[in-house]
Amino acid sequence: MGSTGSVSSWSESLLVAMIQYPVPVITGPEDIQTQVKQICKAVDNTKAGYPGLDLIVMPEYSTQGLNTKIWTYDEMLLTVDSPEIDQFKEACVRNKVWGVFSLMEKNDVPGLPPFNTAIIINDQGEIALHYRKLQPWVPIEPWYPGNYGMPVCDGPKGSKLAVCICHDGMFPELAREAAYKGCNVYIRISGYSTQVNDQWILTNQTNAWQNLMYTISVNLAGYDGVFYYFGEGTVCNYDGNVLQQGHRNPWEIVTAELFPRLVDEARKNWALENNVFNVGCRGYVGKPGGERENYLTWVKDLAEGKYQLPWDKDIQIRDGWEYYPDGVKLGPLPTEESAKTLVGTSS
C-alpha cells in the first residue's frame, strides 16, 4: 500500500521522501560545505511541505560528489564526527525527522583507501545506523570494501531499516542478509548514470519480492558535464510491484506512505510466497519441518574463504585497470590549477 504523497501520516504509516538530488560538481573542500548547507536546507523545506514526514533520504555522493580524480584525497574526506555530519544531525533534530545521508569516510587505518558510507540519523540527532558499502563498483570506485556487514536498526512507525549503496543493490545476497536480520524497509542510495537504468528498477523490484520487504531507492539526477544521472526514485511494495516511480528531474521529491506492519504480517502468514523462510526449510510438506541442511556450494565455499567460479582463470579484469593502474593515490589535494581539469564519472 502506498499513497501519492500525502502531507500527513497516521500512527501506523511511515511517510518517506526521497530527494533526487542534483549531481554535485566538486573540485575542492569548499564545494562540500556548499552541498552540506544545501542538503540541510532541503531537509528543512521538505519537512515544511510534508509536515507528517518520518524519513528523508539523500542519494549517494550528494555530500562530496563523485569526481574520480579527488575521491581519495584527505581534504575531501569526512568522518562520522566531522562538523558537516553535526549539521545533518541538527537538521534532523530541528525538523523532528529521520534522515539518510552519504559520506566518503576516512579509513580508520592510516594509509588505506576510504569507505563509501551511509548513515541513518534519528530525530534525536543520533546515528542509528552506520553502513560501509560492501560492494564498491569495480573497476572504477577506489573504496575500501565495507567491514560493518549489513546492519539493521529500529526506525520510526515499526520500521526496521537497512541501507545499501548503489551497486550493493545488484547483489541479491545483500538484500537477503538485511531481510534475514529483520529489515522490512530496505533503502538504496545511488549515483548511477543511465547505463543501468533498467537494471536499477528490476533489482529494486526483485529485492522487494524475494524478501517480502519494501524497497525505497533514490538516485542522483542531472548532468555533470560527462554523464547523466537518471533520478527515478522508486518505491516497491513487498509483493514486488512499483508503488511510486520518479522521473528524471533534479530536485524531484518522491514520496510514499508505507505500512511496515503489513510486511511483518505477510512474513508470518504467507506460505507459497514466503521464499525468505522457505529457503531454509525446503519441502516442509514432504518432510515435516523441512530440509535444513545447506545444499548451496557457493555458500559453503564463501564461508570457508574458498569462493571461486569455474571460469575464474578466464576473468580478465581484477584490479583498477586503466583507472588506477598504479593503485589508489592518497595524500594532498592537487593544486587549484590542476583541479580545473578534473572530471566526474558515475558510480
Structural domain includes residue 9: no
pLDDT at 11: 86
pLDDT above 70 (res 50)? yes
* Mean of per-residue pLDDT scores for the chain: 92
pLDDT above 90 (res 88)? yes
Percent of the chain with pLDDT over 90: 81
pLDDT above 70 (res 343)? no
Let me know: does 214 contact 229? Beta carbons within 8 Å: no
Structural domain includes residue 344: no
**Segment 278-299 mean pLDDT:** 96
Let me know: does 97 contact 53? Beta carbons within 8 Å: yes
Q: Which has more confidence, 20 or 324?
A: 20
pLDDT at 108: 95
Structural domain includes residue 299: no
pLDDT tens digits, 190-217: 999 888 889 999 999 999 999 999 999 9
pLDDT tens digits, 147-205: 999 999 999 999 999 999 999 999 999 999 999 999 999 999 999 988 888 999 999 99
Concerning whether 133 is annotated as a catalytic residue, the answer is: yes
Q: Is pTM beyond 0.95 here?
A: no
Confidence class of residue 42 from pLDDT cuts 50, 70 and 90? very high
Q: Could you tell me the sign of the dihedral formed by the alpha carbons of 294, 181, 62, 325, in that order?
A: negative
Specify the DSSP class assigned to residue 8.
-
Concerning whether 60 is annotated as a catalytic residue, the answer is: yes
Structural domain includes residue 305: no
pLDDT tens digits, 239-280: 999 999 999 999 999 999 999 999 999 999 999 999 999 999
Residue 139: is the preceding peptide bond cis (ω within 30°)?
A: yes
pLDDT at 10: 82
**Segment 295-311 mean pLDDT:** 97
Q: Which residues contact 90 (CB under 8 A, 6 or more apart)?
A: 40, 125
Concerning whether 89 is annotated as a catalytic residue, the answer is: no
Structural domain includes residue 7: no
Question: Residue 129: enclosing H or E segment and its boundaries?
Answer: strand 127-132
CATH number at residue 181: 3.60.110.10
Structural domain includes residue 284: no
Structural domain includes residue 213: yes
pLDDT above 90 (res 92)? yes
pLDDT above 80 (res 220)? yes
Q: Which residues contact 295 (CB under 8 A, 6 or more apart)?
A: 282
Structural domain includes residue 32: yes
Domain count, the chain: 1
Catalytic: which of 166, 177, 183, 257? 166
Q: Which domain holds residue 132?
A: 14-279+316-339
Catalytic: which of 89, 133, 157, 160? 133
The residues that bridge with 161 in the sheet, in sequence order, are: 153, 185
* Cβ-based neighbour number of residue 290 at 10 Å: 15
pLDDT at 2: 40
**Segment 58-65 mean pLDDT:** 97
Catalytic: which of 40, 60, 141, 232? 60
pLDDT at 346: 40
